[in-house]
Chain A
Amino acid sequence: MQDAILAMLAKEPSHGYDLGLRLRRALGPLGGSMNAGQVYVTLARLEKAGLVVHERSAGSPDRPDRKVYALTDAGHERVTAWLAEVNRPKPDLVEFHLKLAAASASRLADPVELVDAQRRELLRRLAEAQRAVLAEPEGSTGGLLLEGIALRLQADLRWLEACERVWSRRADA
């Protein structure tokens, strides 16, 4: 979230409330779950790290003083670096793979049962994601994020099928 907020400030200086609105809009149907306080906590952290500075804007009677945040030079650099960076998937697969190998070697658990349990969990997540996808109108940008989540879960499920094949063959051998 830090990087996303910095990137929004690269367009123009802004205050916390406005940044929260923009983030929520970008997240589409998932934006509702965002905690309003998160933006302010993140801004405070970014300021401490020297990536943003704030100025108080003059308040009017119905609008109290507000802090307007802007990027520092260091903040600008970080945004540029973030946008250029290629995202690497989190190494969840590695951990699960090692867990299966360890379960089999130690005989403390049946790898195939671990795969089954994992699959049930992923299927429930996929069901939730897929329902959310279908609730979005075709072609909305909000639905795109959900589409990505569903596709990843689908890929994980395919990998689990391969895990099941190999580990059940090993059990038979």
Chain B
Amino acid sequence: MNVLQVRDLTKRHGRKHNLVRAVDGVDLDVPAGQMLAVTGPSGCGKSTLLNLMAGLERPTGGQVWLAGERIDTAGERALARLRRRSVGFVFQSFHLVEELTAAENVELPVLLAGGSPRAAKRRAGQLLDQVGLADRARQLPWKLSGGERQRVAVARALANEPLVVLADEPTGNLDTAATNEVLRLFADLRAMGQTVVMVTHDARVAATADRLVSMRDGVFVEDTWLGGGSGWLDGLFAMGD
């Protein structure tokens, strides 16, 4: 089953001489459980594509289907409900509410989706435990390291058991150690069968996905399957001397 389907998707900005085709007739199917990385240089249209798939921007043309429901033509209320319940977001700059503790940040989407305070608390406890931050639950975001903040953000993204997690440069603000911290968490999500679409310009981050799509000037130029090892690493030391 495809969680996300995109057909002939187009987004243009400006007109005439200033016309920019940010996304220029893209087709994409993301099956359930796939971790997909969209990569390319800045300005290639990858973030716009993510926003269109999230219902954060309206396309100029084409269609976006989320679990069989068409979202590009959905009304504002339906879209808002969809974003609350079916999609989890992870941003480059974390976007945590600075006045709330780690646990409260994770509880928030459950409460906004109509969950009881008790249910929200239980879910937040469970998720912070899952991302290895049970002992940081009562900290405010500024007390946390960059890697920890992004792990809280991932926990928050998972709060309502979304159909898909959409991540925009999730490691863009992190150093190598924190990047690996977050990528290990994404590897766990992958193992759990969570569908993830991430946008990144970092080849090492993209390489942790099952599949990699490269974008240039609003179109896909490459679609590469990365799953399954080629045994190349093992061959590295099978040398003659």
How many Å from the CB of B52 to the closest CB on chain A?
25
In the complex, what distance in Å separates the CA atom of A146 from the CA atom of B207? 14
Closest to A32 in B: B234
Query: 1/0 contact trace for A133-169 toward B, CB 8 Å?
Result: 1100010000000100110011001100100000000
How many Å from the CB of A48 to the closest CB on chain B?
12
Closest to B231 in A: A128
Q: A128-B233, A130-B208 are in contact. Are A123 and B241 (CB under 8 A)?
A: no
The 10 closest A-B pairs by CB, nearest first: A33-B234, A127-B226, A126-B207, A127-B207, A130-B207, A128-B229, A157-B203, A34-B237, A33-B237, A125-B232
Complex contact A134–B180 (CB within 8 A): yes
In the complex, what distance in Å separates the CA atom of A150 from the CA atom of B232? 13
Complex contact B232–A130 (CB within 8 A): no
Interface range for B = 20 to 34
In the complex, the number of residue pairs spanning A and B with C-beta atoms less than 8 Å apart equals 82
In the complex, what distance in Å separates the CA atom of A153 from the CA atom of B204? 9
How many Å from the CB of B223 to the closest CB on chain A?
10
How many Å from the CB of B15 to the closest CB on chain A?
26
- Majority-rule SS of A interface residues: helix
How many Å from the CB of A27 to the closest CB on chain B?
7
17 A–B pairs (Cβ distance < 8 Å), ordered by A = A30-B234, A33-B235, A45-B241, A124-B224, A124-B226, A124-B230, A125-B230, A128-B230, A128-B232, A130-B183, A130-B208, A134-B180, A138-B177, A138-B181, A146-B233, A150-B204, A153-B203
Chain B residues numbered 4-39 whose CB sits less than 8 Å from any CB in chain A: none
